[in-house]
A and B are shown apart, each in its own frame.
Chain A
Amino acid sequence: MEFTEKHVEGLKELLYKMADDLLIIGHRNSEWTGLGPMLEEDIAFSSMAQDKVGQSLALFELLHELGESDPDTVAFTRNDHQFHCSQLVELPIGEYDFSMVRHFFFDHAEAIRFEMLADSVFEPLSMVARKFKGEIKYHTMHADIFMQKLAAGGEESFSRMQNSINETFGLALGMFEPGKYEEALIESGIFGGEAELQRRWLDKVLPLLESFGYVVPKVESTEPAFGGRHGIHTPHLQPLLDEMTEVFSIDPGADW
């Protein structure tokens, strides 16, 4: 099928939100470098950060091929209202329980998103999605192991994790905020859409939480944290962008 303008716009919107999510969660994950509760976890979050930032680069390169600016310019010269990441990924790392729950919710959503995109009719995207699918397997595996371990880690461990699940669930639902071009993406076969992604995600994470022994949060009574996909962010994003670009901003034209 021939892509019309709305298909291309929809594709760009999709690539931007995915790339921004990965870039921002990657930077947040990297904040655990040197601070992890044990060496293995320090390395795990640092490794995942490296994967995420690498994946965001591949998506920014696809955007560049579609006529957007080069990856460094796009990644490092926009302000918060020009970012399309979900509010979930921009929040500070907080305590380890929050970072772990966010990692669990986010990476299962990404794994399913990549699985859906592996069949995209837009071939350059389907090819990177197939690549990412293999990489993220280790991220979801890591999240599942720790979600399970910490559920069984005693009263304090359990209650901290349960509180974080309850507090993070609405933020996680915000990942599936529909874009402006959902129908165009679905009818063209570029992407199956956020509603379908959310349905599959719920089918995956809720039974897992239950099997680990947590009280499963209710979708109906949870307000999703929308806004991020349309440039509305928490006060935490801009300071992060300032920090990420601190060196770049000293001399944006520098030749590295």
Chain B
Amino acid sequence: MSNSIKVLLETVMDPEIPTISIVDLGIVTSIESPQPGHAIIELTPTFSGCPALRIMEQMVHDKLAESGYTHIEVKTTFNKQWNTNMITEKGLIALKQHGLAPPPKHNGYIELDVLSDTPCPYCNSRNTEMQTPFGPTLCRSMHYCKNCLNAFEAFKPVS
């Protein structure tokens, strides 16, 4: 039962990055279905100040409701803290499809050189530089590729 909910949630896309589902983004931390028609979902924020959070709760709710679930609870908790290692392989590819350099896997320790070495999502060159760790949304940084001369954005690694 919870597996069929997961399949449904794989069609709920991040409102700011429409190529990645919330499941591949790694923010769905718990799915329970204690009885048929019931769904209890836990989400965890990518960033505490992410304005898309309430929208995603609503999207999950709507998706389950239109699929026939009658008792739906969607909660956002910090019980499991999101980090970019929780993005699935499929999710990393989806980010790149959207023109965002995917975050490198990390061991919990993020330093400046990780960011300044981001491969360009257009030409794959590592001859790039970070211009600022703060981009158009909280989860993105801004970079410049000295090889193909394109400005690009990266989904920044978060521990």
Q: Is the CB of A55 within 8 A of B134?
A: no
Distance A134 CA – B157 CA, assembled complex (angstroms): 9
Q: Counting CB contacts under 8 A, is A150 at the interface?
A: no
A128, closest chain B residue (CB): B78
Q: Counting CB contacts under 8 A, is B107 at the interface?
A: no
Distance A48 CA – B133 CA, assembled complex (angstroms): 11
- Interfacial residues of chain A within 93-109, with CB under 8 A of chain B in the complex: none
Distance A52 CA – B135 CA, assembled complex (angstroms): 16
Q: Is the CB of B81 within 8 A of A134?
A: yes
18 contacts between A and B (CB under 8 A): A40-B131, A40-B132, A40-B134, A44-B132, A44-B133, A46-B134, A47-B134, A47-B135, A50-B49, A50-B138, A51-B49, A54-B47, A54-B48, A54-B50, A57-B48, A130-B81, A134-B159, A138-B133
Interface size, A (range)? 20 to 34
B83, closest chain A residue (CB): A134
Q: Quick one: CB contact mask for B122-133 with A, threshold 8 Å, 1 for yes?
A: 000000000111
List the B side residues contacting A132 at CB < 8 Å.
Answer: 48
The distance from the CB of B109 to the nearest CB of chain A, in whole angstroms, is: 9
List the A side residues contacting B156 at CB < 8 Å.
Answer: 138
Main SS at interface, chain A = helix
Q: Counting CB contacts under 8 A, is B112 at the interface?
A: yes
Q: Counting CB contacts under 8 A, is A135 at the interface?
A: yes
Distance A50 CA – B131 CA, assembled complex (angstroms): 20
Q: Which residues of B contact A (CB under 8 A)?
A: 45, 47-51, 78-79, 81-83, 110, 112, 131-136, 138, 142, 156, 158-159
Main SS at interface, chain B = loop
Q: Is the CB of B79 within 8 A of A52?
A: no
Distance A127 CA – B50 CA, assembled complex (angstroms): 17
Q: Is the CB of A141 within 8 A of B48?
A: no
Q: Is the CB of A134 within 8 A of B135?
A: no
Q: Counting CB contacts under 8 A, is A43 at the interface?
A: yes
Distance A50 CA – B81 CA, assembled complex (angstroms): 19
A52, closest chain B residue (CB): B49
Q: Quick one: CB contact mask for A126-145 with B, threshold 8 Å, 1 for yes?
A: 01101111110110011001
